[in-house]
Structure 1
Amino acid sequence: MQPTVILFPFLLAAGVYLLLRWVIWQPGNPGSADTAAKHALWIGVIGWLVSSLQPAAKAGLIPVSDVSEAPSAVELLPVLAWPVLGCLAVHAIGQLSYPGPRLPRRRASLDVRRIRDFLPRKLAWTVLAIFVTAAGQIAWTAGVPGFDPAPYVPRPEPSGGYVYYGGDGRVPGIDLAAPLGGALVVLAAGTFAVLALIARRRRLEWLSSEDNSLLRTIAMNRLLRTVATVASGLAAIAGNHAALTDPAEGTGNWASPAAMLNLVVLLAMWWWAPPKLSHGLTERRARRMTDPQPATKLVVSIGPAMGLAALIPLVAAAVMPGVLTGQPALFVALAAMAVLAVVAGGEVLLHRNYGTDREPRHWPRQPVSPALTTTVVAAAAILLGVIVLIAAWQAEAGAPPSWIAAVWTTAAAIGTAAVPFAVARRRRSIPATVRGLDAALRAITLHRVARTLAALFAAQAGALLMSAAPGLQRFSPPGADTTSVLWQVAPGAGVILAAAGVVIAVIPVRGISAKPASAAAPAPETVP
C-alpha cells in the first residue's frame, strides 16, 4: 500500500481542522455570533464538497473496453468510503474545532441536551424517508442479474442503413448492493453519532443560550441536508444499475427514475436553508447596507464576482469541448487570469466613478501582510522546485515535456497580475470621511492580487505533479530505483497542493467597514 493512501486522509483532516479553527478563532472575538455563523457556513460548504459520489457513478458496470475485469465489492469500498466518511468527518471536525472555555468564571448549564431538542423535525422526517427509499432501492437492486458487455457492432437495417448494437455489462446486483448497503448503514450510524456530538458539544461562552441552541440546529440542518444527498446518490447508483438493459437484447435505450429522484433531492436540499443567528450574518449584512461609503460597497461586491470569474474555464470547457482537455496548467492559469481581470475592472470602476483629482493618491504603508508575502514566496518556490524536478526527470526518461505549459501559462498569469497592480497604483484618490479609506482600498486590491498569485503557484504545482507523475511512474516502476517512491506519492502531494491553492484563494479579505477608522490609517507617502 502506498504511503499516500494512509497519510492523505489524516493530512486532509488536519488541514480542515486548522482551517475551521482559523475561521472560528477571530483575534479578540473568538466564538462570537458573527464568527460562529461563518464557521457553520464553512462546515457546510466543505461537507458538500467532499460528499460527491461522482467517482462511483459507474460502479458495478463492466465497460466494453475491459471485458476481462469486473469491479469487485472490495474495489468499490474505497470509492464509497471517501464521500460517506468524508462528509461525516468534516461535520465532526467542525464541532471539535470550537474554542474551549476562556472566561475566568465558566458558565455551565445543568440541562440535559438531547438530539430531539435541537433537531429540525420536518427536515429530519424528510431525510428519514430518503434513507428508507434508498434502502428499498438497494434491496431491489440486490436481486437483479448481471450480464456481460457486448462490443459495439453495426447491423444492417431494412431501410438500408446501419445501427450499432452493444453496450456495457453489469455485475450481479448483490455484488453492488452489498457495498452500497454497507455505505448506507455507515452513513446512517455516522449521522446519528454526529448529531449526538452536535447536541453534546461544549457551548460558546460568547453566545446566549438561545443562540447556542440555534447554532446546534443550524449544524444539524447542514448535516442532514448533506447526508440526504449522499443517501440519494447511493440510491441513484443502485437505480442506474438496475435500469441498465442487456445489450444482447438489442435495447439500447434506458431511463433511471432513481437518477431523476436524486436530482429532485439535490435541489430540495439546496432550497432547505438553515435558520440564521440573530446577531450573526444578518447583522453584518445590515451594517454593510448602511455603509455610507459607496466605494467600499463596490470593493466588497468584487469578491463574489471574483468567485464567478474563477468558473470561466469550466464554462469554456463546456462550450468548446476538447480545448482544455488534458491541459490542467492552462485551466488553472485561465481561472487566475479571469480573477485578476475582475480585480483590475474593479479598480477601473473606482477610478471612473469615485476618483477625484482634488486629493493626492495615498499608498498603504504595508500593501501586503508579511504572512501573505511569505505564502506567495513559499508557493513560488514550491512551483519552481516542482518544475525543475519534473523537467529534469522528463528529460532523463524521454517523456514528453509537460512542464513547458506550466511555465508559459504561469508567466502569462503573472503578466496579467501587473495590470491590477498598475491600475491600483495610478488610479485617482477616493474622497471619504473615513480616514485612510483610499489607502485601505488599494491595500485590499493588492492583497487580492497577491492572494491570487499564491493560489496560482500552489495550484499549478499540484496540477503539474498530478498530471506528470503518472507518466514518470511508468518510466520508473516500483523497485527500479530509490526515486520510484517519489513518483508514487507525487499525485497525493499534488492533490494537497491543489487543495492548498483553493484554500488560499477563498480566504476572505476583511471588509474595511468592519474595522475602525484608525486601523486603516494611510502612509504619508504620496504616489505621483
Structure 2
Amino acid sequence: MDSLLGLQFPAAVGVVLAGASLLAAAALWWDGQRAVAPSAAARRAARHAALTAGVGTVPLIFGILLVPTYYFGGYLALVGHRAAVLPVVSLLGLLAVHAVGEMTWPRPRGTQRQARLVARTVHDVAPGRLRRAAMMWLAGAVVVAVGFGLMASGPRSVSRVVGLDQAFTVDPFPGWLWTVPILAASTAAVVLTELVLRLVASRPAIDDVDEEWDMWLRRRVARRILRSVQLVLGWTLAGLIAVGGLSLRRLGLGYGSGTAAGASPSSAHLVAGSTLLLAALAVALLALVVAVWPSRDTAPAAAMADDEPAEAQA
C-alpha cells in the first residue's frame, strides 16, 4: 500500500499533519479569545497551557507512530530516509502549536486591565539542563552525519573492499541522503524552540496572582516543550547510530551485494557495528531519562498580586 485517502502516501502524511496543526491552531485561537474572569485567571491559564500541550502532541505522536509502518506496514512510498526525518518534522508541528498557544494566551478583559512590567529572558523560564541536552543531540547529529557521510560509498549505502578488485555493498546506510534532511529539520526545530521560549518569557503576566506563581507556570510550559524536543532529537540520533551499526555488522558478516558477495567475516566491522549499537542504546536511554526526570519546581500558592509601583494601567 503506497497511497492513503486517495493521495500518494507522503502527500497524505503532509495533509494529515497540516490538518491536525490547523485544527489545533483554530481551537487555541478560539480558546484564547474567550473572556478571563479575574478571580479564575490562574486556573484559566493553567488550563490553556494544558490544552496547548495536549493538542501539540497530536502531530508529534502521529509522525512518530508512522515510522514503524515503514518496517511493518509495507508502505512502499515511506522509504528509509523519509521515515527517519518524519519524527523531527512532526516536532516542528508541536512547536508550531505551542507558538500559537503562546500568541493566544488568555488576556483579561474589562474596562480596567493591569499588566505587570517585568523583564524576563529565556534563561529565567527554561531549564538549562534541558536546553543543553537539545543542543548536545543536535551537535551529536552533526558529528554522526559527517562521519557516516565520509564512510558511505553512496548516498544511502556503505561498501567493503575485499582483495584488489572485489567489493560488496550494504544498504540502507545513513549517508548524506539520510542525514542532510535530518540535520536541516533538527536545526529548524532548535531555532523554533528558542523562538517559542522567547514567547513564553515575554507573554503577558497573569494579572491576579503573584509573580512567583506566574513564573512557575512559565517554567512548567518551557519544561514541557524542551522535554519533547530533546527526546525526539535524542531518539533520532540514536536511530541514525543504530542503522549505521546494523549496516556495519551486516558488512562484517559478509552480507550484501556486489562482486564479493558472501565474503568472509570482518572482525573490525563487527566490533564497530556492535559498538555503535551499544552507543545508540545509551543515547536512547539517556534521552528518555532526561525527558522523564522529575522536576523539583513545585507550584507555589497562587497568592493574589498586590498593587506595585511597577504595574501599568491599560
Q: Describe the shift of the 1:243–1:148 C-alpha distance in structure 2 as closer, same or farther (beyond 3 A).
A: closer
Q: 2:106, 2:237 → 1: CA distance? A: 38
Q: Secondary structure at the residue paired with 2:150?
A: coil
Percent identity among equivalent residues? 20
1:146-225 alignment, distance < 5 Å: 146-147=156-157, 169-171=171-173, 173-225=175-227
Query: RMSD over aligned Cα, in angstroms?
Result: 4.1
Q: Describe the shift of the 1:102–1:182 C-alpha distance in structure 2 as closer, same or farther (beyond 3 A).
A: same
Q: Describe the shift of the 1:39–1:95 C-alpha distance in structure 2 as closer, same or farther (beyond 3 A).
A: same
Q: 1:136, 1:195 → 2: CA distance? A: 26
Equivalent position of 1:38 in the other structure = 47
Q: What are the superposed Cα offsets for residues 380-401 of structure 1, whole Å, 9 maximum, x if unpaired?
A: xxxxxxxxxxxxxxxxxxxxxx
* Aligned residues of 1:77 and 1:179 also touching (Cα < 8 A): no
Specify every segment of 5 or more residues in structure 2 that has no aligned partner in the other structure, as ranges: 1-5, 160-168, 256-269, 303-314
Q: Does 1:79 align with 2:105?
A: no
Q: 2:157, 2:209 → 1: CA distance? A: 59
Q: Does 1:250 align with 2:253?
A: yes
Q: 2:201, 2:21 → 1: CA distance? A: 22
Q: 2:191, 2:252 → 1: CA distance? A: 41
Q: 1:46, 1:35 → 2: CA distance? A: 16
1:17-56 alignment, distance < 5 Å: 17-20=25-28, 28=37, 32-48=41-57, 50-52=59-61, 53-56=64-67
* Aligned residues of 1:130 and 1:228 also touching (Cα < 8 A): yes
Q: Does 1:143 align with 2:146?
A: no
Whose RCO is larger (CA < 8 A, sep 6+)? 2
1:99-498 alignment, distance < 5 Å: 99-145=106-152, 146-147=156-157, 169-171=171-173, 173-245=175-247, 247=250, 249-250=252-253, 255=274, 256=277, 257-273=279-295, 275-279=297-301
Q: Describe the shift of the 1:34–1:90 C-alpha distance in structure 2 as closer, same or farther (beyond 3 A).
A: same
Could you tell me how far 1:148 is from its partner in structure 2?
8.0
Q: 2:296, 2:101 → 1: CA distance? A: 16
Q: Tell me which amino acid in the other structure corresponds to 1:84.
A: L
Could you tell me how far 1:250 is from its partner in structure 2?
2.6
Q: Describe the shift of the 1:168–1:29 C-alpha distance in structure 2 as closer, same or farther (beyond 3 A).
A: farther
Q: 1:47, 1:192 → 2: CA distance? A: 17
Equivalent position of 2:258 in the other structure = none
Q: Tell me which amino acid in the other structure corresponds to 1:15.
A: L
Q: Describe the shift of the 1:241–1:198 C-alpha distance in structure 2 as closer, same or farther (beyond 3 A).
A: same
Say which is worse superposed, 223-232 or 126-135, in terms of deviation.
126-135
Q: Describe the shift of the 1:168–1:51 C-alpha distance in structure 2 as closer, same or farther (beyond 3 A).
A: farther
Specify every segment of 5 or more residues in structure 1 that has no aligned partner in the other structure, as ranges: 150-166, 281-528
Q: 2:225, 2:296 → 1: CA distance? A: 10
* Aligned residues of 1:138 and 1:235 also touching (Cα < 8 A): no
Could you tell me how far 1:41 is from its partner in structure 2?
3.3
Q: Describe the shift of the 1:169–1:220 C-alpha distance in structure 2 as closer, same or farther (beyond 3 A).
A: same
Aligned residue pair count:
259
* Aligned residues of 2:213 and 2:299 also touching (Cα < 8 A): yes
Q: 2:148, 2:65 → 1: CA distance? A: 19
Equivalent position of 1:285 in the other structure = none
Q: 1:71, 1:32 → 2: CA distance? A: 48
Q: Describe the shift of the 1:220–1:37 C-alpha distance in structure 2 as closer, same or farther (beyond 3 A).
A: same
Could you tell me how far 1:223 is from its partner in structure 2?
0.9
Q: What are the superposed Cα offsets for residues 92-151 of structure 1, whole Å, 9 maximum, x if unpaired?
A: 1221232233132222344333222322233333433333333323333323325489xx
Q: 2:158, 2:130 → 1: CA distance? A: 42
* Aligned residues of 2:56 and 2:93 also touching (Cα < 8 A): yes
* Aligned residues of 1:72 and 1:175 also touching (Cα < 8 A): no
Q: Secondary structure at the residue paired with 1:108?
A: strand
Q: Secondary structure at the residue paired with 1:35?
A: helix
* Aligned residues of 2:137 and 2:233 also touching (Cα < 8 A): yes
Q: 1:69, 1:87 → 2: CA distance? A: 24
Greater radius of gyration (CA):
1
Q: Describe the shift of the 1:108–1:123 C-alpha distance in structure 2 as closer, same or farther (beyond 3 A).
A: same
Q: What are the superposed Cα offsets for residues 400-428 of structure 1, whole Å, 9 maximum, x if unpaired?
A: xxxxxxxxxxxxxxxxxxxxxxxxxxxxx
Could you tell me how far 1:222 is from its partner in structure 2?
1.0
Q: Describe the shift of the 1:222–1:81 C-alpha distance in structure 2 as closer, same or farther (beyond 3 A).
A: closer
Could you tell me how far 1:209 is from its partner in structure 2?
2.5
Of 97, 100, 124, the match for 2:104: 97
Could you tell me how far 1:274 is from its partner in structure 2?
7.2
Equivalent position of 1:491 in the other structure = none
Q: Describe the shift of the 1:134–1:206 C-alpha distance in structure 2 as closer, same or farther (beyond 3 A).
A: farther
Q: Describe the shift of the 1:242–1:148 C-alpha distance in structure 2 as closer, same or farther (beyond 3 A).
A: closer
* Aligned residues of 2:145 and 2:176 also touching (Cα < 8 A): no
* Aligned residues of 1:198 and 1:219 also touching (Cα < 8 A): yes
Q: 1:27, 1:101 → 2: CA distance? A: 5
Q: Secondary structure at the residue paired with 1:51?
A: helix
Q: 1:261, 1:233 → 2: CA distance? A: 7
* Aligned residues of 2:85 and 2:181 also touching (Cα < 8 A): no
